[in-house]
Amino acid sequence: MSDRNDLIEIFGAQNSSRRGDVIFVHGLGGDARGTWHPKERRDDDNFWPAWLGQDLSDVGIWSLAYEVEPFRWKGNSMPLVDRATNSLDLLDSYEIGDRPIIFVTHSMGGLLVKQMLRSARDFGKWQAIASGTRGIVFLSTPHSGSDLASWINYIG
């Protein structure tokens, strides 16, 4: 399984009569599976999105995987708006938006989802994703930026 720009099915995603989708979106320094495990235990018994699926068997549980390099200030780093449109295309290819959506985000994942919803609203192609979003859980999302950005001026 590759964690590069993919939507990983965790639980119930193949259920065509599911009543909604929950999508986990990792942030800086994380990945689609590791972010949601305790640090010391990365086995499926300790993967809480799967536990959620056991409690909500009629809901699709997914994890969005995308590449993110926290200290790549120059070079081939993808702008957030491009990453958002790529992610929207990916969700659309899995028919996400046909039913209600809840996003659970961590760190930069929250910024990504906010940009995704902004792009979905601005471009009619993904309107179903924007209108289908019923909630967003933000965990450690830097809504007002990060102090780290101000330190870049001193590093050179």
Task: Write down the domain spans for the chain.
Answer: 6-155
Share of the chain above pLDDT 70, in %: 82
Cβ atoms of 100 and 132 closer than 8 Å: yes
Instruction: Give the residue with greater pLDDT, 3 vs 85.
Output: 85
pLDDT in tens, 16-59: 899 999 999 999 888 898 888 887 766 777 788 999 988 999 99
Q: Which CATH number fits domain 6-155: 2.60.40.1840, 3.40.50.1820, 2.40.10.120, 3.40.50.150?
A: 3.40.50.1820
pLDDT in tens, 87-120: 999 999 999 999 999 999 999 899 999 999 999 9
Output the pLDDT for position 70: 56
**The pair of three-digit structure tokens given for residue 149, joined into one six-digit string:** 């950005």
Share of the chain above pLDDT 90, in %: 56
Task: State the Cα angle at 134 between 56 and 21, rounded to 5°.
Answer: 35
Question: What DSSP line would sit under 79-148, residue for residue?
Answer: PHHHHHHHHHHHHHHTTTTSS-EEEEEETHHHHHHHHHHHHHHHSGGGHHHHHHEEEEEEES--TT--HH
Output the pLDDT for position 1: 38
At how many degrees (to 10) do helices 80-93 and 108-122 cross?
70
Provide the residue type at 98 as one letter.
D
- State pTM to two decimals: 0.85
**The pair of three-digit structure tokens given for residue 56, joined into one six-digit string:** 């909500």
